[in-house]
Amino acid sequence: MFPESFTFSIADWVNDWVDKLVTNYGDVFRHISDTLLWAIVKLEGLLRVAPWWLLLAIVGLIAWHATRKIITTVVIVGLLFLVGAVGLWDKLMQTLALMLVATLISVIIGIPLGILSARSNRLRSVLMPLLDIMQTMPSFVYLIPVVMLFGLGKIPAIIATVIYAVPPVIRLTELGIRLVDEDVLEASRAFGANPRQQLFGVQLPLALPNIMAGINQTTMMALSMVVVASMIGARGLGQEVLLGINRLEVGRGLLAGLAIVALAIMFDRITQAYGQRQQGVQQ
Amino acid sequence: MSKIEIRGIYKIFGRHEKACLEAVQGGMSKDELLGKNGHTLGLRDISLSIEAGSIYVIMGLSGSGKSTLIRHFNRLIEPTAGQILVDGQDVMALGPRELEQFRQRTMSMVFQRFGLFPHRNVLDNAAYGLQVQGMPKAEREAKARHWLEQVGLTGFEKQYPRQLSGGMQQRVGLARALATDADILLMDEAFSALDPLIRREMQDQLLALQAKLNKTIVFITHDLDEALRLGNRIAILKDGELVQEGAPEDILLNPANDYVQAFLQDVNRGKVLTASHALSERKALTLTTRTAPARALERLQERAFDYAPVLDGRNLRGVLTQSAAQRALAAGGRDISAYLDDVASVPASTGLDEVLGQLLREPQPVAVTGDDGEFVGWLSRKKVVQLVSPALDSAA
């Protein structure tokens, strides 16, 4: 038995802190969440209003541009068509909107953080353990405070998704920049490139294959959060899975699960193909 | 005034370089510094002065600090102590913006492992320095094309560096450096990664370009043949210290210590030294084709010479022997032009190994001529032998 006298708890302290945060900064968080909500509702509305064939055509074009393979393109478009055919098109669009916004936010946060931590060993030594914690901490733990701060719905779902999905893009951006050939960077410095020219002209382009791999990982991890997100009120495919589980409707859950897989295949093939193409140019 | 002047450069690698400086200036050795303080001595008290329009070679084995030294010129590495002056301007006093300007305009650099941008094609690589300067696209591409043509890469503009051979990649590196029109070219073992034939070709190309452009070139190499071939002056580094500095033949003929001597051992002297190094010290008496026979004979007898070179303007026409002079006098000729004997000559830039062959075939005196055929002096047989085989000489 662990001696009673040695025990202590930070639980109360954390509770107090979150309470204070909610009371004092509730308005700020509300404002952030309103802006975010506006963006995601618009995107979702757009995706759901747009004709299905147009969206399939756009996905097909992007897939073709990325992979340059007919078979891959046909398979991706075919899978999405099947998802629509089993009656999950609307849910698919809701999930897609959530995914796109979460990935976009992850990239907007992740790439600059990756760049900064590639430049500063100190930041890196703080950030890396933090990322480990973010990835291993059970997501329900931070779902609670996030729900307290932002309420139920799409916003906490996106924030929880971003927390879980942002580490790979940070890590791989950092790795990519650190792996840039020292000789090449020195050459750009020798010709008088300023830090901005070094970053955008040399470091980022050369780190792009790694950054794309990071974005790929991030989208995959965001997808894996879809079901959890539905528990705090995000609608879409995750909600279908949840309903299937709750009502013991195995078929319903399986169909929605397969639809998520189809979405995953689409994101994976497209981002991977862009990453590989970048690598091809360099080697 | 010299183009580049560096004074008392020290470089110590480590966390507390300034703190160790005093100990090093006090005479602490490289090994002692590493053992006691865990710091590495990169350079110790280097002072050099580089003339405008010359090729200045800095030579040493790997680890001698030569690549560290060249990076001080444009402050890719900051010295621990010391002064760097370019055109009389103190480079150490430049702020970050000014330093970028300085690197863009005044110095450009060619790297051992090329340092090309793998994601840019050849044209964009060559135009990089100009792009950094902010030159509009059309203008910089025209300039880059011009310099690619100068290095013989027309037609490769749209290729990527990985598609080119090593020699061609380094040509791109050279074009990129030349395109900025900087006065000073820093070349860090630029040809060391190339195979011998290509290296030779690149050296020739560099010399040809230099004859046209007259830049100030600082060239780093570990290859003495290359150093002697390119350098107007050579500095030799060892363990971060300057061992010897001078004109190539000074170093070859008077090595400062065993280290330099060891360097020189494998040099093919016959290729490096030329006829101009083996001129006879005897002050030559020169006659012209218009000289009267009586005057010519008088001057020959005056100095007890058997023969003298005869010039037409500055060009060597032939040689006049005493007996020919007497014949001319007896025949009552107006001048000596009809009584000349042919004379063997070699250009001043001929390698001594070739000269040696000629000396063996030719018992007659051999004249040395300059680029335009002008008479430079007589070849000294004794000197040729001395220079080609110093070991034989010292054994005798």
- pLDDT tens, position by position, B44-72: 999 999 999 999 999 988 888 899 999 99
User: Above 80 in pLDDT, residue B282?
Assistant: no
Letter for the amino acid at A168? P
* Non-local CB neighbours of B265 within 8 Å, separated by 6+ positions: none
Q: Amino acid identity of B84?
A: I
The yes-or-no verdict on residue A35 having pLDDT over 60 is: yes
> Cβ separation of A190 and B76 shorter than 8 Å?
yes
How high is the pLDDT of residue A280?
64
Q: Is the pLDDT of residue A197 over 90?
A: yes
Nearest to A190 among B74, B105, B162 (CB): B74
Mutation for testing the A interface, residue in B71, B117, B172, B192 having most A CBs under 10 Å: B117
Could you tell me if A121 lies within 8 Å of chain B, comparing CB atoms?
Answer: no
Question: In the 8-state DSSP scheme, what is residue A193?
Answer: -
Q: For residues B227-245, give the mean pLDDT.
A: 90
Long-range CB contacts (< 8 A, 24+ apart) of B281-286?
B281/B380, B282/B378, B282/B380, B284/B308, B284/B309, B284/B375, B284/B377, B284/B378, B286/B310, B286/B311, B286/B375
Q: Smallest CA–CA separation between B175 and chain A, in Å?
A: 13
In sequence order, the 6+-apart residues with CB closer than 8 A to the CB of A82 are A262
CB B67 within 8 A of CB B220: yes
Average pLDDT (A129-148) is 85
Chain A residues close to B118, C-beta within 8 Å:
181, 184, 206, 281-283
* pLDDT on residue A189: 94
Q: What is the pLDDT of residue B178?
A: 93
The number of beta carbons lying within 10 Å of the beta carbon of residue B306 is 11
- Report the pLDDT value the prediction gives residue A26, as an integer from 0 to 100: 78
CB–CB contact A192 B111 (8 Å): no
- Residue B132: which of A186, A192, A283 has the nearest Cβ? A192
pLDDT value of residue A282: 57
**Residue B95 — very low, low, confident or very high, per pLDDT cuts 50/70/90?**
very high
The string of pLDDT tens digits covering residues B316-333 is 888 888 888 888 888 877
CA distances from B239 to A175, A257, B23, B34, B62 (A): 35, 67, 17, 13, 9
The predicted pLDDT at position A183 comes to 92
Residue B84 reports pLDDT greater than 90: yes
Res. A196: pLDDT tops 90: yes
Residue pLDDT, tens place only, A43-100 = 888 888 889 899 999 999 999 998 888 999 999 999 999 999 988 999 999 899 888 8
Please state, rounded to an integer, the average pLDDT across all residues of chain A.
88
Mutate which: B76, B104, B132, vs A, most A CBs within 10 A: B132
Distance CA B156, CA A136 (A): 51
pLDDT of amino acid A281: 61
B182-206 average pLDDT score: 91
Q: Which amino acid is at B318?
A: G
Are the beta carbons of B282 and B365 closer than 8 angstroms? no
Cβ pair B102:A187 closer than 8 A: no
Q: What is the pLDDT of residues A224-247, one digit of tens each?
A: 888 888 888 888 888 899 899 889
Closest CB from B132, B160, B176 relative to A193? B132
Can you give the pLDDT at residue A274? 84
pLDDT band at B395 (very low <50, low <70, confident <90, very high): very low
Q: For residue A192, give the nearest of B101, B119, B176 by CB distance.
A: B101
Specify the pTM: 0.79
Which ranges constitute the DSSP H helices of B332-380?
352-361
